[in-house]
Structure 1
C-alpha cells in the first residue's frame, strides 16, 4: 500500500526529485501562487493519498496536478478541491464496488455450476461403486481411525454361512472354522493397530472358502471378504490343502525326530534322503545331515538286500532284523514301506521286549507247572471264551477226557457238557443260570458262587475276568470245610451239652479275669447260684461267693493271679481242696489258647477213700508178690540140685560099667532122663523169668560173629530135629558181620524158637531160620509149616503158662515165647508173630546190632 502511495506522489510531479522532499526551489515551478499556504497543500496531498486506493485516485491526482499546473490561470480554494475529491472518490468507489460485486457474483455462479456438475459426477461414480460393491460375492468392512464403529458394504452369499447381520458378521467364531477364526482375528488386529496388510483364505463351518484381503488407505482399514468362484475356490482349497499337508509333514518330521526309533526315507534308487535323530545316534553320526552326506547305513547289506527283494507296494516288509548298535548286538522290529517315489522305514528296538517275552514265557511255564501241581482245580479261558489252560486237579474234579479238553471247548460248551454228564447242580432255569455264570466276561468284578454238586461236594467257584479278555475259574473244594464246620458246630453243641452234664465242675475265664462259662456241677460243688456265676462276672466276685465254703483263702487268690498274669509262660496248677462240707476237690488250672484259663474241680471224696483202701491192698499184693518171687527163687534153687543128681545118676546107669539093664529098665531110665531134662528146663525158665521180674538179670554183652552164632544154634538143635524127623534150612548171606549182644541169651532165644517150631512142624517138613540185617538192626525169623494159630491164640501167645498142645508133639509149660519176648526186650528189640490157621507160623525178632550196654534189665 505504501508503494502505491509512493508511485502516485511521483506521478503528481515528475519533475521533482523526491516526492517526499521538503525543500523547494525555482526548479520545482515556484510561481506567484506559491504563496498557497502549506496547510492547503497538505490537505490536498492527504486527499490524494486517501483516494489513491480507489478508482478516483487518478482523478484526484489529476485535479491536484492540474491545480498545481494552472495555478497561474485559475485559483481553486483548498476546501473545494477537497470536497470535490471526496465526492468524486466516493462515487468512484461505489461504482467500482458495484462492478466488482457483479463480477464476483458471476464467478460464484460459475463455480457453483462447476461444483454441482462435479457433485453429480461423484454421485454417479458412488452409485456405480456401490452397485459394484453390493455384489453378493463380496463384503467390505471399513474401520475409521480410532475406535469408531465399522462400516459394512455388500453381502456374502447365504450358502457360505456368513451372517447377514452386521453385528453377527464380526463374530467370526460362530460361522468360521476355529483355526480360521483365530487367525483372522489376529490379522485384523495387526491391520488396525500396525497397518499390516494381509491376504488369506478362510473356511466357513459349511466348508465354503472365502478370500480375505486387508488393506489400509486414507487412515482407514479395509477388510474385503470375497466368495470365490469355482476355479479360484479350487485354487484356494488346494492352497489350504497344501498348507495343511506342509504343516502335517513338518509335524510328522518333528514327531519322528522326537521318537527313539530310527526312521529313514529313501529315493527310488535306494539312497537315503532323510533320517531322524535316532537314526543318526544309532549310526554314531553328529547330525542327520551328516548321515545323508556320508550315506551311513543302519542295517547290514544282507538285511537291506532282503528288504529290497521282498518289500512291495502291496506287501510292506515287516520282520525282525539283528544289527550292531553302539557295539552291542540288538534286535529290531523293522517295517519298510515301498511307494512310487521310494521307500520309508522304521526300526523298533525289541531286544528288551524279546527278553521280556522270553521271561514271560518262562514265567507262564513256571506258573503253569505250579498251577498243575496245585490241589485246587484251575481253568483259564482266553478272550474267545475257549479253554486255554487246565491243571490236573481240574481233570480229576470233573473227570473229563483229555481229547475233549485239548480241543479247547468253549466255556458254555464245557458247562453244557458237565450238565449232560450230571455233574452240575440242577437248576430251575438252566439258560438263565448259565448266562449268569458267563456274565463274568462282561464284568469287571470277581464273581463268587457256591455249587452244590450231585455227588455231595460243595465248591466255591471264583471267576475273575482278565483285562485283556478271558477269565480264570478257580474251583475251591469246600466239602471238607463244610463238613468240618458242621462237625465243629456239632462238636461245640455236644461239648456244651457234655460240659453241662459233667460231674466235674468246669469254669472258663478270659484274660480279663471274667468268667466265660460254667457248668451246673461247678455251681453245685461251690454252692453258688447261676446269677453269681453268670458270664462276665469277675473272679474276685466268684472268690467272694466261694469263700464261705473252705478255709484256704490262697486257693482262689492263686487262680486270680494266674488268670491276670502278664507272663507269657503260664504254668498249670494242680492241687486238692477240702471244703467245710467234707468234700475233697481235686482242682486243675489249665491254660487255654487266646490267654483263657479253665478251672476244673473233681469231687474225689469217694475216690480218696477208695484210694486209701487200694493202697492198703496194693501194699498187701506187693508183699505177696515179694513172697512169691522169694518162694520161686528158693524152690527153683532147691529143685535144681536134686534134678541134677537125678540126671547124673540116670546117665551113670546108662553106662556099661554099672551093669547091664534089661529092656524095660533101659526104657524106664530113658523116660527118667527125658523127664528130668524137661523138668530142669522148666526150672531154669522159671528162674530166668523170676530174675527178669525182679529186675536183677544182667546181660553179658559182647561182640560176636553172626555166622558163628547160627552154626552153634544149628549144632545144638540137631538132635531135637533128628528126633522129630524135621529138617532145618538156614537162609542168610555170608559175612553178615558182627552183633553186640548177650551170646547165651541170644542162643537161648533162637533155640526156644526152633524148639517150638520143631514141636509143631509136621514130620518130614523143613523149618527155615532166616537172618538179614540193615546198618542198625539184625533180624532173625523162624518159619514152620505147622497148624498155625488163630487170632484168639495170638492175643495170648506171650502169656506165661499159656501152652497150646494141639498139633504139637510135646506139651510144655508155656514159658518159651514169654522168655523169648523178655530176652528180646532186654536187647531193646521186639518180637512179631505172623500166623494163620493151616498156613504155619513165622516168628521174627529184631535185635539192634549195636545195642547200648545195660547192666540190669528193667522190669
Structure 2
C-alpha cells in the first residue's frame, strides 16, 4: 500500500508537468501574437496599406491552432502512459496484498500491538491488544495506568509526548500490574508517530525480573550507603581479613583522614588495640561486640558506644558518641542526689513509689512521721506492705473496712490527676495527704502535718473575735477601708460618733457614702477631702495623715489615716474636746510659769548685782582696816575685822555662784578655752580654802603625778570646780580627818577626784544632790549651800563635755570625781 501511494504520487506529478507544458505553449502563442501586433505597428507592411487589426486576429488564430495540436498530442501520450501505469498498479496491488499477508503472518507469530498517530487524527491500531493483558480491549490498552506499573506510566507518557512533539524515539521495558514485562518501542515513520508494544517471553521476563530486582536492590543499597555516609556517627565495614573496605565521612573525620586509602595506608583506627582485639575475639566466637569505650575522635577524647557485628563477608560496626549523654547522666545523677538532699531537708514527709508500687525514695521527715525503721524502708517494701505495717502499729485512721479503704488509697496508681486525702490519726494529728501520679509510673506521696495549722486557725479566729470585742470597747472610733474603698471593719464608737446605723455599716458602704453621712454633723470641714484621698488614692502614693474635724455641736474630732500593709487604710477618730481644753489650760499655765521664771531670773540678777556692789565696798574697807593703814587696831578689832572679811568673801562667792547658776540655766555662760596646767589649777584652788582647812583641823593629801601635764579647758571654771569640790569635802569632814585630792589620765580623759572621810551621803540626798535642791552638807548638818555648789559643779563639768561621778555609802565618806575630755568639746561660744 505504501508503494502504491508512492506511484500514484509520481503519476500526479507527471500530469501536472503536462498541464504546465500546455499552459506554457498557450502563453508563448499569445506572446507571439502580441509581438507580431507590435511589429506590424512599425513594419513596412503598415506602410504598404495593411490593416493592423487583421494582422492581430491572424496571429491569435495561428496560436490557437498550434496549441490545439500540442494539447491533442499530449493527451494521446498521457492516455497510453496511463494504460501502462494501470497495468503496473494492478501488479503492484497484487504484490502489496502478498506483502500484507506476510506482515500479518509476522504479526501473528509474536504477541504485539502497533499504534500509530498521524497529526491530530485518532490513533490507528494493528496487532493483538491482549499484549496489555488477557481480554484487554484496544481502548484499555491505551489507558496505560490500568495495566502498567505506576512508576513506568510516567516514563511512558513522557516518552510518547517527546515522540509526538519532537520525533524522539525510545525503548522502554514496562512492568505489568498482573506480572510480566512488555517492551515499548517508539519511532517515526512517514510523518507518523508509531508505538509498538511487544510481549516479552518467559525466559526474558525472568531475566528482566531478576534485573529489576537487582536494580531495586542496588538502589536500596545506594540509599543505605548514602544514609550511612550522612550519619554523624562513624560507620565502617571490614572484610574477612579485618581490613577496612568502606567507611563513612564521619569515620574519616574521626581518624583525621581524607580518604579510605589514606586511612588504610596509615593504619588509622577509631578504637584502641585492646578494644579491637576484644571485638575480634567476640566476632570469632560468633558474638556481637557491644561496649562503651573511650576513643579519640578528631583529636578529642570522647566516650562512644561501639557495636560491631558479623556480616556474610566480614563485619560492620558503628560508634555513637555518648559523651554528652554521659555528662547529662552525671548531671542528672547529681541533680537527683541534690533533689534527694533537698527533699530530705523539707518538713513535709515525701515518699516515692515506682510503677511496681515499691518504695524508691523517702526523706527524713517521712521516717520521723511514721517512726518506721530504716531497715524496713531500705528493703523497698510495697505501698500495701507499709500500710499494713502502719495499721498494725495503730498509726492509720481507724476504718470499719480497712480492705476497702486500702484499695481506695492504692487506686491512686491508676489515676491521672493528683488526689488529696485527709487522715485523722489516732494520736489526734491531722495529715493532708497528696498522691501525685509520676509520668513514668508510680506515685509520689506528700504528707503534710496540718495539726498546728488547724490549731493556729482556731487561735486566729479566737484572736479575731477578741480583737473585735477589744475594738468595740475602745472609746476611739475605728474604721478600716479596703483597696476598693469599701468599709471592711468598724467598731461601736465609730457608729455612735457619726450616728451611723449598724445595719448600714454591715452592708460595707463605700467611703463616699460614709463621708456623705458624716457631713451631716460636720458639713463645713475640709478634712473630708484629705480623708477620701488617703483611702481612695493608689497604694504606692498613700501616706499617713492627721486632720481635725469640728462638728456643729462644738465637738472636736481628730482623725488619723494610716495605710496598712495589705493595701487597706485604717481611720481612727478621737474626741479631743476635753484634751484641747486641758491643753489650753496647760498652755496658759506654762506661759505664766515662763513669766514667773523670767521675773525670778530678773530678780536674781538685780538682787545679785545690787548686793555685790555694797558687798565689794565692805570687803574693800575691811581689808583696808585689817592692813591698819589708817591706824592701829586692837586685838578685838582685828578679830572682828577678820570675821567681817571672811563673811563678806563667803557672801560674795555665794552671789557669784547664784549668778553663774542663773547664767547656766539661761545658757548664756561662755567658756574660754586655754591650756590648763592641772597641778597649778589644784594648788590655786587649795590656796583659796586652806584657811578653812586649817581652822577645821583637817589634813590635806595630794595624789598628783609630776607628769600629769595640762589639757584644754576653761582654767577659771576648772579652779571653780575644784574649789567647790574641796569646799563640800571640808563641810562634810570632822576634825583630824583627811581630804585627799588626786588627778590622773585614763582613756583619753582627765579625772580630778576629791575624797573625804566624813559620814558620806544618804540615799535620799544622793538623788537630789546635783539638782541644786539640797542645801545641806553631805551628812545633813553643819554647813549649808553645798547643794547649790554641786549643781554648779555638775553643769560646769557637762559644759566642758565631761561627767561627774559620786561614790559614797553612809558612814564611809565620799569620793567625787569629775571627768574631762583632753580637748574641750563643750559649748565654748
Q: Give the TM-score taking structure 1 as reference length.
A: 0.50
Q: Is 2:220 the partner of 1:248?
A: yes
Say which of 194, 215, 220 aligns to 1:221: 194
Aligned to 2:359: 387
**Offset, 1:188:** 4.6
Q: How far apart are 1:507 and its partner, in Å?
A: 1.7
CA distance in 2, matches of 1:178, 1:211: 14
Instruction: Return closer, same or farther for 1:463/1:220 CA change in 2, 3 Å cut-off.
Output: same
2:512 and 2:129 map into 1 onto residues whose CA distance is: 106
- Inter-partner Cα distance in structure 1 for 2:95 and 2:356: 92
Task: Decide whether the 8 Å contact of 2:412 with 2:419 is kept in 1.
Answer: no
Distance apart, 1:356 and its partner CA = 2.4
Asked whether 1:373 is paired with 2:345, we answer: yes
State the match for 1:210 in structure 2: 181
For 1:263, the equivalent position in structure 2 comes to 235
- Would you say 1:154 and 2:105 are equivalent positions? no
> Which one has a bigger Cα radius of gyration?
1
The DSSP-based 3-state class of the residue aligned with 1:311 is: helix
Is the contact made by 2:412 and 2:437 (CA closer than 8 Å) also made in structure 1? no
Instruction: Tell me the secondary structure at the aligned position of residue 128 of structure 2.
Output: strand
Q: Which residue of 1 aligns with 2:686?
A: none
Q: 1:277 corresponds to which residue?
A: 249
Equivalent residues in 2 for 1:248-647, closer than 5 Å: 248-312=220-284, 314-382=286-354, 386-409=358-381, 423=396, 433=408, 436-440=411-415, 443=416, 446-455=417-426, 456-461=429-434, 463-466=436-439, 472-481=444-453, 484=456, 488=460, 505-510=477-482, 515-529=487-501, 539=511, 542-543=514-515, 545-546=517-518, 549=521, 553=525, 559-560=531-532, 562-563=534-535, 570-571=543-544, 573=546, 589-601=561-573
> 2:566, 2:573 → 1: CA distance?
22
CA contact (8 A) 1:412 1:438 kept: no
Conservation of the 8 A alpha-carbon contact between 2:472 and 2:493:
yes
Q: Give the whole-Å Cα distance in 2 for the aligned partners of 1:498 and 1:512.
A: 26
Residue equivalent to 1:757: none
Question: Could you tell me how far apart the structure 1 residues matched to 2:210 and 2:271 are?
Answer: 39
The residue that corresponds to 2:777 in the other structure is: none
Structure 1: which 5+ runs fail to align? 1-45, 55-92, 612-683, 698-740, 749-859
Asked whether 1:200 is paired with 2:170, we answer no
How far residue 126 of structure 1 moved from its aligned partner, in angstroms, is 5.7
Cα gap change, 1:115 to 1:343, in 2 (>3 Å): same
**Alpha-carbon separation, structure 1, partners of 2:372 and 2:769:** 66
Deviations 1:476-513 (A, max 9, x none): 55555555556656665675576567665322234576
1:589 and 1:597 in contact (8 A); partners too: yes
Give the 3 Å change call, closer, same or farther, for CA 175–394 of structure 1 in structure 2: farther
Aligned pair in 2 of structure 1 residues 692, 402: CA closer, same or farther (>3 Å)?
A: farther
Alpha-carbon RMSD across the aligned residues, in angstroms, is 5.2
Q: How does 1:705-716 map to 2 (within 5 A)?
A: none
* Matches of 2:478 and 2:308, distance apart in 1: 87
Aligned to 1:753: none
For 1:233 and 1:312, locate their aligned partners in 2 and report how far apart those are by CA, in whole Å.
43
Shift of 1:457: 2.1
CA apart distance, 1:317: 0.8
Q: Matches of 2:138 and 2:349 in 1, distance apart? A: 78
CA distance in 1, matches of 2:174, 2:285: 36
Structure-2 change in CA distance of 1:179 and 1:483 (3 Å): farther
Q: State the alpha-carbon separation in 1 of the partners of residues 222 and 448 from structure 2.
A: 60
* Aligned mates of 1:186, 1:413 — CA distance in 2: 76
Cα-to-partner distance string for 1:371-418 (whole Å, 9 max, x where unaligned): 222222333344555433222233334554444443434567666776
Q: Distance in 2 between matches of 1:418 and 1:362?
A: 33
Assess if the C-alpha contact under 8 Å between 2:413 and 2:437 holds in 1: no
Cα separation, 1, equivalents of 2:464 and 2:153: 83
Residues 377 and 209 (structure 1), Cα distance of their counterparts in 2 relative to 1, 3 Å cut? farther
| C-alpha contact 1:387 1:410 (8 A) present in aligned 2 | yes
The 1:234–1:476 alpha-carbon spacing in structure 2 relative to 1, beyond 3 Å, is farther
Q: Per the alignment, do residues 377 and 149 of structure 1 end up closer, same or farther by CA in structure 2, a change over 3 Å counting?
A: farther
Report the Cα distance in structure 2 between the residues aligned to 1:114 and 1:558, rounded to whole angstroms.
130
Residue 489 and residue 153 in structure 1: after superposition, are their counterparts in 2 closer, same or farther (change >3 A)?
Answer: farther
**Distance in 1 between the 2:135 and 2:368 partners?**
79
- Report the Cα offset of residue 237 of structure 1: 3.4
Match of residue 38 from structure 1: none
Q: SS where residue 299 of structure 1 aligns?
A: coil
The 8 Å contact of residues 532 and 545 in structure 1, kept in 2 or not, is answered as no
Q: Which secondary structure state, in structure 2, belongs to the residue aligned with residue 260 of structure 1?
A: coil
Question: Measured at CA, do residues 389 and 590 of structure 1 come closer, stay the same or move farther in structure 2, by a change above 3 Å?
Answer: same
Give distance in 2, aligned partners of 1:414 and 1:476.
Answer: 18
Q: What residue in structure 1 maps to residue 676 of structure 2? A: none
Per-residue displacement from partner, 1:717-759 (whole Å, max 9, x unpaired)? xxxxxxxxxxxxxxxxxxxxxxxx99999xx9xxxxxxxxxxx
- Flag the 1:477–1:232 CA change in 2: closer, same or farther, 3 A: farther
CA gap 1:270/1:743 in 2 versus in 1, 3 angstroms = farther
2-side partners of 1:368 and 1:163: how far apart?
78
Q: Distance in 1 between matches of 2:561 and 2:243?
A: 97
The answer on whether the counterparts of 2:160 and 2:186 sit within 8 Å (CA) in structure 1 is: no
State the 1:339 CA deviation: 1.9
Could you tell me how far 1:546 is from its partner in structure 2?
3.9
CA gap of 1:393–1:170, structure 2 versus 1, over 3 A, is: farther
Give unmatched runs, 5+ long, in structure 2.
1-64, 584-758, 772-804, 813-829
Verify the 8 A CA contact 2:486 2:510 in the aligned structure 1.
Answer: yes
* Structure 1: distance between partners of 2:369 and 2:176: 70
Change (3 A) 1:241 1:403: farther
- 1:31-42 to structure 2, matched below 5 A, reads none
2:258 counterpart SS class: coil
Change (3 A) 1:197 1:177: closer
Verify the 8 A CA contact 1:312 1:337 in the aligned structure 2. no
Q: Determine the C-alpha separation between the residues in 1 that align with 2:769 and 2:284.
A: 105
